[in-house]
Amino acid sequence: MAFESGIEFARKLDSEDPMRGFRDRFHFPEGPGGSDAIYLCGNSLGLQPKSVASYVNAELEDWAKFGVEGHFHGRNPWYSYHEMFSDQFAHIVGAKPHEVVVMNSLTTNLHLMMVSFYRPTMHRYKILIEASAFPSDQYAVASQAAFHGYDPDDAILEIGPREGRDTISHEDIEEFLEAHGSEIALVLIGGVNYYTGQAFDMKRIAKAGHDAGCIVGFDLAHAAGNLRLSLHDDDVDFACWCSYKYLNSGPGGVSGAYVHERFAQDPDLPRFAGWWGNDPETRFEMGPKFHPHFGAAGWQLSNAPVLAMAALKASTDIFMEATMPALRQKSVKATEYLLWLIDELPDGQYKVITPRNPDERGGQLSIKALGDGPALFDALTKAGVICDYRKPDVIRIAVAPLYNSYEDLWKFAQILGEAA
């Protein structure tokens, strides 16, 4: 695609953008002089849809009006509140509705999934993760290994980029699994690496893992609402994601989980159970024996945190309106444009460490400052850019196709050029 460098071109792209109507439906933090901030941090905390207040208010009103009866008489009965997300999450992650559930928070769900899917045996007890995985994931896998009596230094394997590279080659993952797969119980990779923005080919990794006899799960914190996913068709065993990044559910928003349908009714799979994971037909019989709900819903523990879920619903309704294919289409184009703008800057100032192939990234570009990293971040902040900075020299820029404009990206690139 041929881009041009002026602001008029950015405005032209905005005027032709099928997603342009969505921007006004979000609250923007204030930037310098009262204008909207240039918000490029949707990979950390998505912006608040303006509709969140009315969604949350509806539940507050029903609580005031009905008290406990809101579980059955509310406009969106709380008893089945989580079920409203089945079709939506199925669309967002490419799964069947009974393969997904909304519950808990991300790290909690990782642990719950590992209870079921990390089943170490004497000769097969290792977990393979990507090098520089998000710290919470590293702690989670290490503590799971330790919980089963293994030394994490021995049980946790990491695969990283080759010397001199920033991202991990899929061939290397495949070769590693061929060589060491027989020791590996679980492969757990980020769908998109939070640091480099590299998107992994889940189908390929699932196949390589399965060929080696491993269970394969993904952490989709940076992939859900960002990439087009097809977890079921890719044959992924399980996955979890948070909803406050690209999915805009607000701080600490409720997480999602996916479990492939081949496990929907597997009675041999151990799990940590709670009453909300019980079959709803018998849930209120309050019997002593747990009868798991069919599918991913059987992993729920507690009744739904409705106020947090109401905020999420405001956002997922917008996603359903926009649809993932259209969002991804804009994301690819806008990210390509941003990459082009950065390439136009004088050499020697910045290096983008995210893959240049659009199939290997989502809406994030990780930019390494070749000069003074902290000074750059200061300058960006002063100029009204809100983005994420990882010491000492990497800034992570997220393009959120629902609310970022091409003009945002143009302005950011200007500021980046001046800050070098």
| Closer residue to ligand PLP, CB minimum distance, 212 or 221 | 221
Residues listed for the chain: 420
Other Cβ atoms less than 10 A from the Cβ of 229: the count is 26
Cβ neighbours of residue 382 closer than 8 Å, sequence gap 6 or more = 32
Q: Are 113 and 257 in contact (CB under 8 A)?
A: yes
| Closer residue to ligand PLP, CB minimum distance, 254 or 342 | 254
Question: Cβ of residue 414: shortest distance to ligand PLP, in angstroms?
Answer: 29
Question: Cβ of residue 252: shortest distance to ligand PLP, in angstroms?
Answer: 7
| Closer residue to ligand PLP, CB minimum distance, 251 or 288 | 251
Question: Cβ of residue 16: shortest distance to ligand PLP, in angstroms?
Answer: 32
Phi, psi angles (nearest 5°) of residue 215: -85, 145
Q: What is the largest CA-CA distance in the chain?
A: 70
Helix, strand or coil for residue 158?
strand
What is the C-alpha separation between 159 and 209, in angstroms, rounded? 14
Question: Cβ of residue 193: shortest distance to ligand PLP, in angstroms?
Answer: 8
Give Rg (Cα) of the chain. 22
Site residues (CB under 6 A) for ligand PLP, limited to 394-413: none
| Closer residue to ligand PLP, CB minimum distance, 82 or 245 | 245
Question: Cβ of residue 237: shortest distance to ligand PLP, in angstroms?
Answer: 17
Stretch that binds ligand PLP, among 62-70, 117-125, 214-222, 335-343 (CB under 6 A): 214-222
| Closer residue to ligand PLP, CB minimum distance, 107 or 167 | 107
What is the C-alpha separation between 420 and 399, in angstroms, rounded? 21
Site residues (CB under 6 A) for ligand PLP, limited to 149-208: 190, 194
Stretch that binds ligand PLP, among 7-15, 17-25, 207-215, 216-224 (CB under 6 A): 216-224
| Residue 107 binding ligand PLP, by CB under 6 A | yes
Cβ neighbours of residue 2 closer than 8 Å, sequence gap 6 or more = none
Q: Which two tokens stand for residue 160?
A: 């990283």
What is the C-alpha separation between 202 and 191, in angstroms, rounded? 7
Q: Are 239 and 142 in contact (CB under 8 A)?
A: no
Near ligand PLP by CB under 6 A: residue from 62, 99, 130, 137? 137
| Residue 219 binding ligand PLP, by CB under 6 A | yes
| Residue 304 binding ligand PLP, by CB under 6 A | no
For 62, how many CA atoms within 13 A lie in the half-sphere containing its CB? 20
| Closer residue to ligand PLP, CB minimum distance, 105 or 366 | 105
Other Cβ atoms less than 10 A from the Cβ of 308: the count is 21
Question: Cβ of residue 346: shortest distance to ligand PLP, in angstroms?
Answer: 33
Identify the CA nearest to 216 among candidates 177, 255, 264.
Answer: 177
Other Cβ atoms less than 10 A from the Cβ of 21: the count is 11
**Taking the C-alpha atoms of 51, 54, 59 and 61 in order, what is their torsion angle to the nearest 10 degrees?**
180
| Closer residue to ligand PLP, CB minimum distance, 134 or 276 | 134
Site residues (CB under 6 A) for ligand PLP, limited to 238-257: 242
The owner of tokens 């032709």 is 16
| Residue 333 binding ligand PLP, by CB under 6 A | no
Near ligand PLP by CB under 6 A: residue from 51, 132, 136, 414? 136
Near ligand PLP by CB under 6 A: residue from 48, 76, 86, 105? 105
| Residue 388 binding ligand PLP, by CB under 6 A | no
The owner of tokens 């009974």 is 98
Question: Cβ of residue 111: shortest distance to ligand PLP, in angstroms?
Answer: 10
How many residues touch ligand PLP under the rule CB under 6 A: the total is 12
Which residues contact ligand PLP (rule: CB under 6 A)?
105-107, 134, 136-137, 190, 194, 219, 221-222, 242
